Structure 1
Amino acid sequence: MATVPYLYDEKREMERALGQVRAARERGVKTIVEPTVMGLGRDIRFMQEVGRLTGMQIIPATGLYTYNDVPFYFHHRSVDHMAGLFIHDIEEGIQGTSIRAAFLKCATDEPGITPGVEQVLRAVARAHRRTGVPIMTHSHPRSGVGLKQQDILEAEGVDLSRVLIGHSGDTDDIDYLTQLVERGSFIGMDRYGLEESAGYLSTEKRNATILEMCRRGYVEKMMLSQDTCCTIDWFEPEVVAALAPKWNMTYITDEVIPALKAGGITDAQIHTMTVDNPRRYFERQGAY
């Protein structure tokens, strides 16, 4: 919104962010893993202020978010050049600050592995190999692109156990999810609050999938979370409120976890998916 500032009310958005983050903090959430990167309007100073005012630890990312093409700046520059920008965010700091990115983010959606998307995937892989920070992807499970992401990352020499294939909970295809975890990756069961009214799976189907994956012994490969953001300019606010009224930072704690426990998930398994697995994901560091 930098080019059309009259469309962005920073004070209003700060109040909105503080309200959501404080509500999560009151429910015992201590850390937010924040995968807003280039292409999504990242503002690291805004994140820093939210963290300062709420006491929430916010872990930032670097990378580039696109479903198709990359910005024209990258059209005539190499994969290694893009990787270098990500490495700078990790080793030096983001947007002229000393705040360093702690993980890498890339995206593949329904259009599949376009040339632009592949460029980002390979750049993320190379930055990961150089720095050792883990990788998180945005994926489109209904088209099976998580496996294609794994293929490209693996071709670049990435250890897939250091990768989280995000939004995997958008499908209840157990065979597909099993393939992802058997190749070593974590999977994100992370879009709670986006329901059938918005074209996604219901909470009940998401929970049933987690229950089955736990039954099969994969609790140590799942991350339980949501993909909500305090502000999204893709839609008018009233559209988001109508289509996804529970897409917020407290739906997991208030409704999802109690429902999972009622279905047979134990406190220990909840702790594994919300604390232990994220810790292991970030603890494995080191270039290779």
Structure 2
Amino acid sequence: MNLVRTVLGDVPAGELGVCDAHDHLFIRSPALPGQELDDPADARERLRSFRAEGGRTVVQWTPYGMGRRAGDLAALSRSEGTRIVAATGLHRAAQYAPEVLARVMPGLEDLFVSEITDGIGTTGVRAGLIKVAGAFHDVDAHARHTMAAAAGAHHRTGAPIAVHLELGTAAGDVLDLLCGELGVQPRRVILGHLGRFPDGVAQLDAARAGAFLAFDGPSRAHHATDWLLPGQLASLAEAGFGGQLLIGGDTTVPGTPGMPYLLRRLRPRLVRALGEDAVEAMLVQNPARAFALAGA
């Protein structure tokens, strides 16, 4: 049986239901001062709105050291009846104070493994996802180190690897490293933010490599995500890659439309462009495969 590790324990992958494949209930970063998502009451309201639109699972990509509030995730999951998947992993160096990186980088793989198998801090909440990040059109030294640790942790735990592509770039370089040098099967990798770099060739290449492609962060005025998204997804589906597509809200700062918008506004638009079955696959069947633990 395929299992997904949620904050309340492992569940059969087929029970995820409608899934927001990339979002954040809580996140903070020195790179975004004053724009923290750190309010449990606000997170509760967003979850309630998401559930009212038919949402059943949220995958939170907030990694180590960025205000995950794992204990609150578990409490919200219980109170709101919504499954939540938490992440371990490490973001780009710019998202951390230097002393944090100096402390964690030497033992990064073991940290990831511990948070997946034993729990995050003293909460007992186990991560079900490893989140790492590339650089702009590059895999820099920091990314190579974190991705090597992520690959090692994946091989030891079976947890999938989710990758923040900086402005949607460097998908090929990321896959060369993770799946070429480091031996991770492409179907265990989720590439995020591909819609922010609307290069159809790069998207097709990533799909042909076998990775899951997450189109996330809708309705950002400085990104052409909304008006290009139906055509991008249709092109990939018509090319035979509909089973590798995921969609998410990626709420990172206050005021992002996020979870409710994903289902209330974006889903009907995608249904008109691609059909009900294709969108159902992106929201239900594909996440069930993408976020399952390998070998579980």
TM-score strictly above 0.5: yes
Do 1:68 and 1:116's aligned partners in 2 also have CA atoms closer than 8 Å? no
**How much does 1:100 deviate?**
0.9
Do 1:62 and 1:90's aligned partners in 2 also have CA atoms closer than 8 Å? yes
Report which stretch shifted further, 125-134 or 144-153: 144-153
Report the 3-state secondary structure (helix = DSSP H, G, I; strand = E; otherwise coil) of the residue aligned with 1:40: coil
Which residue matches 1:256? Answer: 266
Which structure has the bigger radius of gyration? Answer: 1
**How much does 1:35 deviate?**
1.0
Do 1:66 and 1:107's aligned partners in 2 also have CA atoms closer than 8 Å? yes
Structure 2 distance, partners of 1:271, 1:33, is 17
* Amino acid across the alignment from 1:161: R
Q: 1:32 and 2:42 equivalent? A: no
**How much does 1:202 deviate?**
4.0
Which residue matches 1:213? Answer: 236
Task: Identify the match of residue 156 of structure 1 among 166, 179, 182.
Answer: 182
Question: Superposition pairs for residues 12-27 of structure 1, below 5 Å?
Answer: 13-27=39-53
Q: Larger relative contact order (C-alpha < 8 A, sep ≥ 6)?
A: 2
Which residue matches 2:163? Answer: 137
**How much does 1:284 deviate?**
4.9
Report the 3-state secondary structure (helix = DSSP H, G, I; strand = E; otherwise coil) of the residue aligned with 2:240: coil
* TM-score (norm: length of structure 2): 0.81
Deviations 1:110-132 (A, max 9, x none): 27322222111111111001111
**How much does 1:133 deviate?**
0.9
Runs of 4+ deviating beyond 6 Å: 7-10
Change (3 A) 1:15 1:156: same
Q: 1:282 and 2:291 equivalent? A: yes
Structure 2 distance, partners of 1:273, 1:151, is 25
Structure 2 distance, partners of 1:206, 1:8, is 26
Root mean square deviation, CA, Å = 2.7
Which residue matches 1:45? Answer: 71
* Amino acid across the alignment from 2:178: L
Deviations 1:9-45 (A, max 9, x none): 99x8122111111000111111111111124222101
Report the 3-state secondary structure (helix = DSSP H, G, I; strand = E; otherwise coil) of the residue aligned with 1:137: strand
Structure 2 distance, partners of 1:8, 1:175, is 34
Question: Superposition pairs for residues 118-267 of structure 1, below 5 Å?
Answer: 118-140=144-166, 142=168, 144-154=169-179, 155-194=181-220, 197=221, 199-229=222-252, 232=253, 237=254, 241=255, 247-263=257-273, 265-267=274-276
Do 1:104 and 1:136's aligned partners in 2 also have CA atoms closer than 8 Å? yes
**How much does 1:150 deviate?**
0.9
Structure 1 distance, partners of 2:283, 2:125, is 24
